[in-house]
Amino acid sequence: MSADATTALKGKFPQVTDRASADHPAVDVPPADLVAALQYLRDECAFDMLMDISGVDWAEGASPRFTVVYHLFSTKRHEYFRVATPCTGSDAEPVAPSVVSLWPGANWHEREAYDMFGIKFAGHPDLRRILMWDGYPYHPLRKEFPLAGLEAPLPGPDVEEETGTRLISAPMAGGPFVASPGEMNLTEAEPRAKDQSWNERNVKPE
Amino acid sequence: MVTANTTFSYDSKIEGEVVVTKLDAAINWIRTNSMWPMPMGLACCAIELMQVGSPRFDIARFGAEVMRFSPRQSDCMIVAGTVTYKMAPQVRRIYDQMCAPKWVIAMGACASSGGMYRSYATLQGVDRILPVDVYISGCPPRPEAILDALMKLQAKVKKERSGKNLFTA
């Protein structure tokens, strides 16, 4: 069982601590033990499938600023398990160990986390951006990056020259748009701008 | 329809074996009725675009059923879906490979204006990189709206000075 997995993991790796979780068992693992701990979970505790790798940005000032979360699944017992590890390295270039050696499927997950958060996975065979293009200057899911985006060159310099189009900060017009919770008719529940006092015509009040 | 008056139809005994028309009218007649689309299907709008080719809506009635997946054989690019910045240069390059005369239909909210994607990743309207002739509203538009856009584009092409452009271009 998962509780047994937590206990067994703690026995094997004394640095492992419990992590607050609303649903599935979760642990914090120091980066040095991460690959060994995940291998132990995979081989000894039957968590044989890596569902997802996600990143967390705790915003500037937090230390460590970035955390990587590994979501494991056992296809034998149908249980989930969550492993989190803080990133080492600087705030600008956080580093986490790569687990491509354990699950080849981690390759693209880690590329995505690198693309969105700029987390460098040490030992990754091919760490390139996966959603944005090579040469895009930002990591869009970091806290300081605005939803509307920042100005940047187009991926194709020839097309940029021909059309004069660059990446712009998207017009938000009172957004972001949020749906209202609760029971109401569908028209009222439509996503609306949070602040409708400004739009493309009326400038945002200071 | 039964009618006694047949003098409006072409009568070879009166007019001989010649049809007189204007060059513009002849060229535009040919162009409007064989407008082969380049289906630039980028998102869910492409599903509606498939539907418009099906027998129920039957875009073949307007001579535009020949979806060409090669830009070199097509006349009208239908940008169906969200254009991301990553895809934008490719869309422009495909447009550049189409032979003139060529037209563009921006299908749906995303292609027209970026739609609900006010974000860092989405081009805010394909008209920032392409000269768009007809915009279709909707998310996604109904197939009828695509037929309507095609008819509007045909009406637009019928007014072009094609004969003059033939020798000046």
Contact (CB<8Å) B120/A156 = no
B41, amino acid identity: G
Residues 6+ apart with CB under 8 A from B147: B52, B57, B59, B62
d(CA A16, CA A82): 12
Q: For chain A, which residues make up each domain, given as ranges?
A: 2-131, 171-206
d(CA A199, CA B4): 63
Q: According to the model, what pLDDT value does residue B157 have?
A: 92
Question: How would you class B144 by CB atoms within 10 Å of its CB: exposed for 0-12, middle for 13-18, buried for 19 or more?
Answer: exposed
Contact (CB<8Å) A177/B119 = no
Tell me which residue of A46, A44, A8, A43 sits closest to A27, measured CA to CA.
A8
- Chain centroid to Cα A99, Å, comes to 16
Selected for mutation to probe chain B from A163, A172, A190 (highest B CB count within 10 Å) is: A163
Tell me which residue of A59, A54, A52 sits closest to A142, measured CA to CA.
A59
Task: Give pLDDT tens digits for A58-92.
Answer: 988 888 899 999 999 999 999 999 999 999 988 88
Residues of A in contact with B123 (CB under 8 A): 165
Q: B37-160, what's its fold?
A: Rossmann fold (3.40.50)
Residues of B in contact with A179 (CB under 8 A): none
Q: What is the distance in angstroms between the Cα of A133 and the nearest Cα belonging to chain B?
A: 6
Tell me: ipTM over 0.90. Answer: no
Left (φ > 0), alpha (ψ -120 to 50) or beta: where does B97 sit? alpha
Tell me which residue of A180, A126, A132, A125 sits closest to A153, measured CA to CA.
A132
DSSP states along A75-102: TTTTEEEEEEEE-EE-SSSEEEE--TTT
Q: According to the model, what pLDDT value does residue A187 have?
A: 77
Residues of B in contact with A154 (CB under 8 A): 85, 88-89
A174 touches chain B (CB under 8 A): no
This prediction's pTM? 0.82
Residue in A with minimal Cα distance to B93? A159
Q: What is the distance in angstroms between the Cα of B136 and the nearest Cα belonging to chain A?
A: 21
Q: For chain B, which residues make up each domain, given as ranges?
A: 37-160
Q: According to the model, what pLDDT value does residue B5 have?
A: 59
Cite the beta strand spans of chain A per DSSP E. Answer: 17-18, 26-28, 49-57, 66-74, 79-86, 88-89, 94-97, 120-122, 177-178, 192-193
Residues of B in contact with A173 (CB under 8 A): 118
Q: According to the model, what pLDDT value does residue B169 have?
A: 58
Q: What is the distance in angstroms between the Cα of B83 and the nearest Cα belonging to chain A?
A: 12
Give domain A2-131's CATH superfamily: NADH:ubiquinone oxidoreductase Nqo5 subunit (3.30.460.80)
Contact (CB<8Å) A148/B93 = no
Task: Give pLDDT tens digits for A121-180.
Answer: 999 999 999 999 988 999 999 999 988 888 898 888 888 888 888 888 887 776 677 777
- A–B: how many Cβ contacts below 8 A? 66
d(CA B40, CA B107): 10
Residues of B in contact with A171 (CB under 8 A): 118, 124
d(CA A174, CA A164): 27
Selected for mutation to probe chain A from B83, B85, B112, B124 (highest A CB count within 10 Å) is: B85
Q: Which residues of chain B have pLDDT under 50?
A: none
d(CA A180, CA A144): 26
Q: According to the model, what pLDDT value does residue B166 have?
A: 77
Q: What is the distance in angstroms between the Cα of B127 and the nearest Cα belonging to chain A?
A: 10
Q: What is the distance in angstroms between the Cα of B78 and the nearest Cα belonging to chain A?
A: 19
Task: Give pLDDT tens digits for A19-67.
Answer: 998 989 999 999 999 999 999 999 988 899 999 999 999 988 888 899 9
Closest CB from B85, B116, B117 relative to A154: B85
Q: For the sheet with A79-86, list strands across it.
A: A17-18, A26-28, A79-86, A66-74, A49-57
